């Protein structure tokens, strides 16, 4: 009974405390997902992981020096050590032969070790204030109270606003550093701004997610959003929406189980959305890619069969003669099973008919075969004439392009070459 | 006194096995894959525990090795087939698996003798409390016995497979042309990382083990890029840090595993700075000579 009441309380946001937790989580998730997009594009995903482990010693130092769990002190500490780790990675990769991955792993484990060492020292010291400090390891959204919300919330809003205001500059720095340099953008400043905003996002996020899994808060929504759009603006918005919704769902689930840390649940929800997107997203998903490849392969096979018919017809001077599968395999090395499959689908398209065990082109089929052959030969001319490729090197390229050329391009190619009669190998071009 | 030595010996054994493996990770630019595996074996460990396995049981080794290989496979699958960029693929995969591990621990916490913090930094200091058991006629603590076997297996692997490991590390293209399977050695190495992580798990935890894997190897790499000197130096750094770290933990009353990892990091910082000075002096001398 009691549990049902809790669920209702949560959904209706009846308790003030629940409202703070939900609002806080949403703000944090949006801020980290938004800034995470730029970290992802700048290939800093693992640096983010290093930052999130590195804020732990900062939090412990903040606590030791101030003696309280006041979020402001902890965040200042977290930002300092988080930023130091970014700086160290930079120094190590710049002044030694050590590669980025080793530098990241090294920093991550060193800062985390110092953090754990300090944490255990604090725990063993018997300071009564320290209870709850270890919640920063895996996060505890339920611990957000109004005073935290002011601090976290305003920092989250600052991050979001900064991204809105400097969107253009951040985009340039992430995508086209060279161009940004030539137009005189102070790159160093914007790179610094991006890293400090990232560090702040991590520092405020660990309240809900914890240091160990915080990297996922920045990377996973961004990586997921990339599957749904090519437009950076849309990507940032989608990441923010995914971040906010999954964040709240994660908090809700952990709310149902007492003593359950929030971080792992939020991250698990993120991951499920990510896997769904990677597999099923239209255009970019694994399925979409697979079907597109299959469709392309089918089209190429059909084109090649029609071309083989045309070639045989050209040789015999009779385009509508009956051809057996063996003849076609002689003309072009088809795999038998594939050939039969292609012939079947061409029959469905009414491009050829089956007579006993042989196949005959229809009028449309003959025209289609002629078109592919024409494009192939026109392209060979184009390559020899305009790109000055030797005529014994043009065939393979034409084999690829013939399947892709649209009627529009076909027309322009004809106009450009002025309807030549013969290709570089002295074969007639059919129009 | 005996307590101190038990902890130090355990730490030295963990450091030794990890340093050897770590050299290959650093040279192959796979440090972060090692990091990912050490996080991602957690669900394997928890599931093995739930099936009634104990620390060091076969269940656990198989479960962890399986998850280690699954991790490597998933990272490559999302990267190659799914088009997720390499670094994001690593980040997404290991955080997901680690999250699943923590959730499993929280759900079955009553049946499983694991707690969330132990997962992060192990409990090196509790090795002393283990009862000694007889192995081949010797009375020895189970954790120490397992670590000894691990070190033996890893050293044997590296000595016997030295040619294959070294060639696939330094010149994979050449290795492939003379018929050494680059893929096979890759998975052998990843399997070794998984098993080292699991056996070191209750002493140093899933995250600090990364420090034992990467840091001594990286420090050694600053001094030498040659494989054998690098491995020996890494061993030296690992073992000395175990002593110094234990002293540090004792002085300030903190977790030994974390203190040792901290010392490993400080060793790197010291060598890094000395190296910078040395390079600078060499540079100055060269300039002076040119004049």
Q: Measured in Å, how far apart are chain A's first and last C-alpha atoms?
A: 81
Q: Total domain count for chain A?
A: 2
Does A142 lie in the same domain as A37? Answer: yes
pLDDT above 50 for A42? yes
In a domain, A268, yes or no: no
Same domain, A85 and A209: yes
Task: Note whether A179 and A309 are same-domain residues.
Answer: no
Interchain CB distance below 8 Å, B210 and A267 = no
CA distance B215 to B261: 8
The total of structural domains in chain B comes to 1
Say how far apart CA B217 and CA B6 lie, in whole Å: 24
* A360-386 pLDDT per residue, tens: 888 889 889 999 999 999 988 888 888
Do both A205 and A293 map to the same domain? no
Which of A152, A147, A93, A84 minimizes the C-alpha distance to A115? A84
Give the CA-trace dihedral at A355, A356, A359, A361, to 10 degrees.
Answer: 0
Is A315 a domain residue?
Answer: yes
Per-residue pLDDT of chain B (291 residues; tens, 9 = 90+): 667 888 899 999 999 999 999 999 999 999 998 899 988 888 888 888 777 666 556 777 788 888 888 999 999 999 988 888 989 999 999 999 999 988 888 887 655 566 777 777 787 777 777 777 777 767 788 888 889 999 999 999 999 999 999 999 999 889 989 988 888 999 899 889 988 888 888 788 888 999 999 999 999 999 998 999 999 999 999 999 999 999 999 999 888 999 999 999 999 999 999 999 888 888 888 877 665
How many C-beta neighbours within 10 Å does residue B226 have?
10
Coil, helix or strand for A74? helix
Residue A112 lies in a domain: yes
Residue A356 three-state SS: coil
Identify the bridge partners of residue B133 per DSSP, sorted by sequence position.
Answer: B140
CATH code for the domain of A326: 1.10.10.10
The reply to whether B121 touches chain A by the CB within 8 Å rule is yes
pLDDT at residue number B111: 56
Q: Does residue B49 lie within any of the structural domains?
A: yes
The overall average pLDDT reported for chain A is 88
Is the residue at B108 inside a domain?
yes
Q: Compare CB distances from B92 to A98, A112, A223 and report the shortest one's residue.
A: A223
Q: Are residues A205 and A301 in the same domain?
A: no
In a domain, A264, yes or no: no
Integer Cα distance of A32 and A137 in angstroms: 18
User: Could you read off the pLDDT of A182-207 as tens digits, one per residue?
Assistant: 888 898 999 999 999 999 999 998 88
CA distance B144 to B6: 8
Beta carbons of A241 and A254 less than 8 angstroms apart: no
Would the CB atoms of A113 and B222 count as touching at under 8 Å? Answer: no
Q: What are the tens digits of pLDDT across the range A91-140?
A: 999 999 999 999 999 999 999 999 999 998 888 887 777 777 888 888 88
Give the residue from A206, A56, A69 showing the smallest Cα distance to A131: A69
Let me know if residue A244 belongs to a domain: no
How far, in Å, CA of B6 to CA of A363, rounded?
88
- Strand B133-135 to B138-140 pairing: antiparallel
Q: Which of A160, A191, A214 is the last residue of a domain?
A: A214
Domain that holds residue A103: 23-214
Region at A318 (left for phi over 0; alpha for psi -120 to 50; beta for the rest): beta
Give the highest mean pLDDT range of A18-32, A38-52, A313-327, B96-110.
A38-52
The residue among B34, B37, B74, B82 with the most chain A CBs within 10 A of its CB, best to mutate, is B82
CATH number at residue B58: 1.10.3470.10
Distance from CA of A2 to the nearest CA of B (A): 20
Q: Which of residues 39-78 of B touch A (CB under 8 A)?
A: 78
CA distance A299 to A281: 23
Residue B289 CA: distances (Å) to CA of A186, A393, B284, B286: 39, 56, 9, 5
Query: Cβ of B138: how many Cβ atoms within 10 Å?
Result: 9
CA atoms within 13 A on the CB side of B102: 31
In a shared domain, residues A132 and A38: yes
- Name the residue facing B26 among A49, A102, A212 (closest C-beta): A102
3 state SS of A163: helix
Residue B231 counted as domain residue: no
What is the SS3 assignment for A105?
Answer: helix
Write the CATH number for A126: 1.10.3470.10
Q: How far is CA A22 from CA A27, A29, A228, B258, in A?
A: 9, 10, 26, 34
| Smallest Cα distance from B163 to chain A, Å | 24
| B252 to chain A: closest CA residue | A121
- Quick check: B102 contacting A, CB < 8 Å? yes
Q: Look at residue B237 and tell me if it is in a domain.
A: no
Contact B201, B53 (CB under 8 A): no
The Cα B200–Cα B61 span in angstroms is 11
CB atoms closer than 10 angstroms to residue A132: 10
Residue A118: closest CA among A76, A157, A62, A171: A62
Q: Which residue of B has its CA nearest to A264?
A: B99
A158, part of any domain: yes
> Between chains, do B252 and A117 touch, taking CB under 8 Å as contact?
yes
**Which of these three, A214, A245, A277, is where a domain ends?**
A214
pLDDT at B291: 55
* Rounded average pLDDT over A17-37: 90
Angle at A305 between CA A301 and CA A310, to 5 degrees: 145
For the stretch B79-132, pLDDT in tens is: 988 888 989 999 999 999 999 988 888 887 655 566 777 777 787 777 777 777
Answer left, alpha or beta for residue B251, where phi above 0 means left and psi between -120 and 50 means alpha.
Answer: alpha
Question: Looking at the structure, do residues A67 and A167 belong to the same domain, yes or no?
Answer: yes
SS3 A422: strand
**Domain membership flag for residue A156:** yes
Domain contains B234: no
Identify which of A44, A117, A274 has the shortest CB distance to residue B92.
A274
**To the nearest whole angstrom, how far is the Cα of A420 from the nearest Cα of chain B?**
43
What backbone torsions phi and psi does residue A314 show, to the nearest 5 degrees? -60, -40
| Structural domain of B112 | 2-216
Identify whether A239 is part of a domain. Answer: no
- Identify which of B209, B212, B98, B116 has the alpha carbon closest to the alpha carbon of residue A215: B98
Query: B135 φ, ψ to 5°?
Result: -130, 120
Considering the domain boundaries, does residue B101 fall inside one?
A: yes
Give the one of A104, A134, A286 whose C-beta lies nearest to B82's C-beta: A286
Of A214, A248, A265, which residue sits at a domain end?
A214
């Amino acid at each position: 009974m009691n549990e049902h009441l809790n669920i209702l309380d949560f959904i209706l946001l009846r308790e003030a405390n629940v409202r703070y937790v939900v609002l806080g989580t949403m703000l944090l998730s949006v801020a980290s997902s938004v800034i995470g997009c730029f970290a992802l594009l700048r290939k800093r995903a693992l640096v983010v992981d290093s930052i999130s482990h590195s804020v732990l010693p900062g939090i412990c130092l903040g606590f030791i020096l101030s003696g309280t769990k006041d979020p402001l002190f902890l965040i200042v500490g977290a930002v300092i050590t988080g930023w130091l780790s970014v700086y160290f990675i930079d120094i190590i990769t710049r002044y030694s032969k050590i590669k980025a991955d080793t530098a990241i792993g090294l920093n991550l484990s060193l800062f985390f070790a110092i953090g754990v060492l300090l944490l255990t020292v604090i725990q063993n010291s018997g300071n009564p204030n320290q209870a709850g400090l270890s919640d920063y390891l895996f996060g505890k959204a339920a611990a957000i109270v109004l005073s935290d919300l002011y601090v976290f919330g305003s920092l989250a809003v600052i991050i979001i606003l900064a991204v809105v205001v400097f969107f253009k500059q951040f985009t340039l720095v992430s995508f086209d550093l060279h161009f940004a340099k030539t137009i005189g953008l102070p790159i160093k400043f914007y790179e610094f701004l991006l890293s400090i905003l990232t560090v702040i996002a991590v520092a405020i996020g660990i309240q809900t997610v914890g240091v160990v899994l915080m990297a996922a808060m920045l990377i996973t929504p961004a990586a997921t959003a990339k599957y749904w759009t090519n437009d950076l603006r849309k990507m940032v918005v989608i990441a923010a929406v995914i971040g906010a919704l999954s964040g709240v769902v994660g908090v809700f689930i952990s709310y149902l189980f007492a003593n359950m840390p929030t971080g792992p649940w939020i991250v698990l929800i993120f991951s499920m959305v990510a896997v769904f997107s990677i597999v099923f997203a239209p255009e970019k998903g694994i399925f979409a890619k697979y079907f597109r490849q299959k469709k392309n392969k089918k089209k190429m096979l059909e084109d090649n069969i029609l071309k083989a018919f045309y070639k045989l017809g050209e040789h015999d001077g009779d385009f509508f003669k009956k051809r057996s599968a063996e003849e076609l395999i002689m003309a072009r090395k088809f795999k038998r099973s594939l050939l039969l499959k292609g012939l079947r689908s061409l029959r469905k398209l009414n491009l050829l008919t089956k007579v006993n065990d042989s196949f005959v082109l229809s009028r449309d089929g003959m025209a289609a075969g002629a078109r592919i052959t024409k494009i192939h030969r026109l392209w060979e001319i184009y390559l020899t004439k305009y790109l000055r490729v030797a005529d014994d090197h043009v065939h393979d390229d034409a084999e690829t392009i013939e399947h892709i050329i649209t009627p529009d391009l076909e027309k322009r190619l004809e106009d450009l070459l002025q309807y030549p009669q013969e290709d570089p190998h002295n074969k007639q071009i059919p129009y | 006194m005996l307590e101190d030595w038990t902890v130090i010996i355990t730490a030295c054994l963990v450091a030794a096995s990890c340093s050897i493996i770590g050299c290959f990770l650093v040279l192959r630019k796979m440090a972060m894959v090692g990091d990912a595996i050490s996080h991602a074996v957690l669900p394997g460990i928890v599931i093995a525990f739930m099936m009634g396995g104990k620390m060091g049981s076969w269940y656990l080794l198989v479960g962890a090795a399986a998850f280690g290989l699954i991790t490597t496979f998933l990272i490559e699958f999302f990267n190659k087939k799914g088009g997720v960029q390499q670094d994001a693929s690593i980040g997404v995969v290991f955080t997901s698996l680690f999250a699943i591990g923590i959730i499993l621990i929280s759900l079955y916490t009553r049946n499983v003798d694991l707690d969330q913090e132990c997962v992060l930094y192990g409990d090196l200091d509790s090795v002393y409390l283990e009862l000694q058991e007889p192995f081949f006629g010797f009375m020895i603590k189970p954790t120490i016995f397992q670590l000894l076997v691990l070190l033996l297996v890893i050293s044997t692997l590296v000595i016997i497979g030295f040619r294959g490991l070294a060639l696939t590390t330094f010149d994979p293209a050449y290795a492939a042309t003379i018929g050494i399977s680059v893929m096979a050695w890759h998975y052998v190495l990843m399997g070794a990382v998984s098993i080292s992580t699991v056996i070191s798990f209750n002493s140093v935890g899933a995250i600090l083990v990364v420090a034992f894997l990467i840091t001594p190897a990286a420090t050694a790499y600053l001094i030498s890029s040659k494989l054998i000197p690098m491995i020996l130096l890494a061993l030296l750094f690992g073992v000395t840090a175990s002593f110094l770290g234990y002293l540090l933990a004792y002085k300030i009353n903190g977790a030994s595993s974390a203190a040792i990892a901290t010392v490993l990091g400080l060793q790197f910082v010291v060598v890094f700075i000395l190296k910078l000075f040395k390079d600078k002096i060499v540079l100055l001398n060269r300039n002076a000579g040119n004049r």
